[in-house]
Amino acid sequence: MKKVARVALRGDSILTSPRFNKGTAFTPQERTAFGINARLPYRVNTLDEQCQRAYDQLQVRKEPIRKNTFLHSLKDQNWVLYYALLSRHLRELVPIIYTPTQAEAIANYSHLFRRSEGLYLTFANYDTMEEDFLEEVRGREIDLIVCSDAEAILGIGDQGVGISTAKSAIYTLIGGIDPSRTLPVMLDVGTNNPDLLKDPLYVGWPHERVTGEDYDKFLDKFMQLVRKYFPHSLLHFEDFGLKNAHRLLQKYRPTHAVFNDDIQGTGAVALAGVMAAAGVTRSKLSEQRIIVFGAGTAGLGITTQLRDAMVSIDGISVEEANKRFFLIDRYGLLKESLAAKGLVRKEVTEYVRPDAEWPNHEGDVSLLDVVRQVRPTMLIGCSMQAGAFTESVVRAMAEGTDRPIIFPLSNPGRLVEVDPQDATNWTNGRALLATGSPFPQTSLPGNVEGKKKVVAECNNALVYPGLGFGAMISKSRIMTDTMIIAGAERLASLSPALRDPDDGLLPDFEHAPGVNFEVAVAVAEQAVEEGSAGVNWTKEEVRQRAHELVWKPEYPAYVYDPEGESE
C-alpha cells in the first residue's frame, strides 16, 4: 500500500523543499491541495519518466565533474528523484557522486559552490555554536551525523571544507537511511592549504588551522551538542588528519556511538577482501604474512581489524597475531631502531619489528627488502604514493607466493600504488587484486580469448552504510569491534570470487544496497547477541524490522495538514 505523508508546506515552500518536492509528479489532487496548480505544467509524470528525463539531461554533460554538479543540483531540488536516478544507474553514477569524481569536486568546492548543504560550524563562530546548531536541527529527529574537518580528504590532503555530504548521500543510497534523519556537518577549523588561503573565492574560514587546546575545545563543544540533542545518534568521523583521527575515536568512543570510517570502515572492507582472498587461496587469515605500506590512519585501521579477526576467528593470541604484520612508512619498515629515533607513532608501536630480524640492514629497510626477506602473501597500500609497488616489488612478491594478494587502496585512482593491469602482467595473472577506486577489468597480454579479471573495489562505502544502518536499527549505544567484524564476515561471505576466482573479491557496487542490507542484518544480530543493542529481537525480527526501516526513493501520497511535517 502506498505510504501517506501529512505535509504542512504549500505553494513555493513545497516546490522548493528537496525533501517534499515531486516536481511534475504531483498528482492533480495534490496540486490543488498544496496550491500549486498553476505552478506546474499540465502533464503529470511518473517517477520513471522523471528519471528518464534527468538521465537524458545528465548524458549531455560529458565530463564527470559536470555530471557531478548536475547531480548536486538535482539533489538540491528533489531527493526522491536524485536517489531514484542513482539507484537505477548505481554502477555508472556512484563514481560520479563519490570517489573518484567527488575528490575533484571537493578540490574545487569554492568555485563550484551553489547552495548551502548541511551544517557549517566554524571556529570563528565558536561562541554561537549552540544557537547555530539549533537553528538547523530544532524539531528534527536525527539518527546519523557525518562530520569532517577536511584535513585529510582522501589522498588529496587539506581542503578546508567538504566530504560530509558525499558520505552522507552514500548512507542513503546504499544503506537505506532516511536522508531527512541525517545531518552532514562541516567542522571548519581553518586550512593550511596555501592555495585555498590565497584564493579570494575560498568559501571556508580563511585562517590557518586551529590546533592544540583550541581545536580540542571546539571538538568538545560540538560533541556536547551531539550528546545533548541527539544522544542516540551515530556519529561518523571522516577524513580527519593523522594526528586527530585515532585520538578522537578513542576519546569519544566510551561516551557515544562514534565511528571513524577511515579507520574502522576501511578496516572492515579490507578484512572482507582479505577473507575472500584467503578463501580463494584456501588459507587461514592467521597463515598470512602481511605488509601494510603506509602506516597512517587507514594502515593502522586495516592492521588492527585484520589482527583482531585473526584473534577472534582463528583463536591465536594478540602477540602471535601482531607478528603476522610488517608495517612500512616513509622511513621504511617500522623496526626497533626507527622507534628509538622517535620515528614511529605510539599507536603502531605494538607492530614494531625486532632489529635482530634484519641483521643485514643497519639503516632503513625498504619495501623491496621486506618483500624479499618476508615473502609476503599480502601487500596492502594506503600510502598515497602512486606507483610505489614497482615492477621489482611485484615480481619479487610473485616469486615467493602462488597467488599474491595485492590491494593498492589509495584514492583517488591516480594515487594507486600499482595499476591493476601492471600487477596482472607482472604476476602473469596470478595476482588477486582490489583497489580503493573503480578500475577496469584486467586481461593478460596476448591472451585474446582469455577471460578478463574483475578488479574488486575495496572502498569503505561498500560496508559503512550497512554498519551504520545495523547499529541504528538495533538502537546500539556503541559500535563494537565485534559488530564490525560480524559485518565484514557477512560481506566476505558474499564474495563473487568464492564461486569464480576471476570474479571480484568483493561484490560489485551495482549490488551494494542488497549487500549492505545483509551487512546491517549481521551487525544488528551481533548487537542483539552481545547485548550492545537497545532491542531484544530474534533473528527473524531483525531481518523483518530492517526491511521495514529501509528508506526507498519513492513518492508517498501527500495530504495537506497545517500540523503536518515541514522540515
Ligand X SMILES: O=C(O)C[C@H](O)C(=O)O
Ligand Y SMILES: NC(=O)c1ccc[n+]([C@@H]2O[C@H](COP(=O)([O-])OP(=O)(O)OC[C@H]3O[C@@H](n4cnc5c(N)ncnc54)[C@H](O)[C@@H]3O)[C@@H](O)[C@H]2O)c1
Q: By CB under 6 A, name the binding residues for ligand X.
A: 99, 154, 239, 261-262, 411, 436, 459-460
239 touches Mg ion (CB under 5 A): yes
**Shortest distance, position 407 Cβ to ligand Y, whole Å:** 8
Contacts (CB under 5 A) with Mg ion, residues 316-335: none
Nearer to ligand Y among residue 458 and residue 546 (C-beta): 458
Is there a binding annotation on residue 238? yes
**Shortest distance, position 236 Cβ to ligand X, whole Å:** 11
Task: Note if 215 is an active site residue.
Answer: no
**Shortest distance, position 242 Cβ to ligand X, whole Å:** 12
Using CA atoms, how far apart are residues 163 and 104, in angstroms rounded to an integer? 11
262 touches Mg ion (CB under 5 A): yes
Using CA atoms, how far apart are residues 100 and 91, in angstroms rounded to an integer? 13
149 touches Mg ion (CB under 5 A): no
* DSSP sequence for 88-157: HTHHHHHHHHSTTHHHHHHHTHHHH--S--SEEEEGGGGGGHHHHHHHHHTT---SEEEEE--SSBTTTB
Binding site for ligand Y (CB under 6 A): 152, 154-155, 242, 262, 266, 269, 293-299, 328-330, 382-385, 409-411, 415, 436, 458-460
Using CA atoms, how far apart are residues 90 and 561, in angstroms rounded to an integer? 35
By a kind-dependent CB cut-off of 5 to 8 A, residue 365 interacts, out of ligand Y, Mg ion, ligand X, none, with none
How would you label 42-64 residue by residue, b for 16+ Cβ within 10 Å and e otherwise?
eeebebeebbeebeeebeeeeee
CA distances from 533 to 171, 223, 237, 465 (A): 20, 22, 21, 18
Other Cβ atoms less than 10 A from the Cβ of 369: the count is 17
Q: Which of 82, 83, 98, 171 is catalytic?
A: 98
Nearer to ligand X among residue 384 and residue 521 (C-beta): 384
What values do phi and psi take at 559, rounded to 5?
-120, 135
Please name the residues in contact with 513: beta carbons below 8 A apart, sequence gap of 6 or more.
87, 90, 173, 174, 175, 176
**Shortest distance, position 460 Cβ to ligand X, whole Å:** 5
Is there a binding annotation on residue 192? no
How would you label 113-151 residue by residue, b for 16+ Cβ within 10 Å and e otherwise?
eeeebbbbbbbeeeeebeebbeebbeeeebbbbbbbbbb
Using CA atoms, how far apart are residues 367 and 529, in angstroms rounded to an integer? 42
Asked if residue 462 lies in contact with residue 506, where contact means CB atoms within 8 angstroms, the answer is yes
Is there a binding annotation on residue 239? yes
Residue reference for cell 530474534: 538
Distance from chain centroid for Cα 206: 28
Q: Which of 22, 75, 167, 335 is catalytic?
A: 167
**Shortest distance, position 104 Cβ to ligand Y, whole Å:** 14
By a kind-dependent CB cut-off of 5 to 8 A, residue 18 interacts, out of ligand X, Mg ion, ligand Y, none, with none
How would you label 462-497 residue by residue, b for 16+ Cβ within 10 Å and e otherwise?
bbbbbbbbbbbbbebbbbbebbbbbbbbbbbebbbb
Nearer to ligand X among residue 164 and residue 421 (C-beta): 164
Nearer to Mg ion among residue 238 and residue 518 (C-beta): 238
Nearer to ligand X among residue 303 and residue 411 (C-beta): 411
**Shortest distance, position 191 Cβ to Mg ion, whole Å:** 17
Nearer to ligand Y among residue 30 and residue 262 (C-beta): 262
Q: Which residue is nearest to ligand X (CB)?
A: 99
By a kind-dependent CB cut-off of 5 to 8 A, residue 382 interacts, out of ligand X, Mg ion, ligand Y, none, with ligand Y
User: What does the block give as the cell for 403?
Assistant: 597467488
151 touches Mg ion (CB under 5 A): no
What values do phi and psi take at 100, rounded to 5?
-95, -20
Is there a binding annotation on residue 262? yes
By a kind-dependent CB cut-off of 5 to 8 A, residue 458 interacts, out of ligand X, Mg ion, ligand Y, none, with ligand Y
**Shortest distance, position 536 Cβ to ligand Y, whole Å:** 34
Beta-sheet pairing, 325-329 with 332-333: antiparallel
Distance from chain centroid for Cα 421: 25
Report the amino acid identity of residue 293. F
Is there a binding annotation on residue 508? no
By a kind-dependent CB cut-off of 5 to 8 A, residue 328 interacts, out of ligand X, ligand Y, Mg ion, none, with ligand Y
Using CA atoms, how far apart are residues 370 and 291, in angstroms rounded to an integer? 8
Nearer to ligand X among residue 165 and residue 411 (C-beta): 411
Q: Which residue is nearest to ligand Y (CB)?
A: 296
Task: Note if 555 is an active site residue.
Answer: no
Binding site for Mg ion (CB under 5 A): 239, 262
Residues contributing to the annotated binding site for a divalent metal cation: 238-239, 262
Which residue numbers belong to the known binding site? 238-239, 262, 411, 459
Catalytic residues, by residue number, are 98, 167
Residues placed in the known binding site for (S)-malate: 411, 459
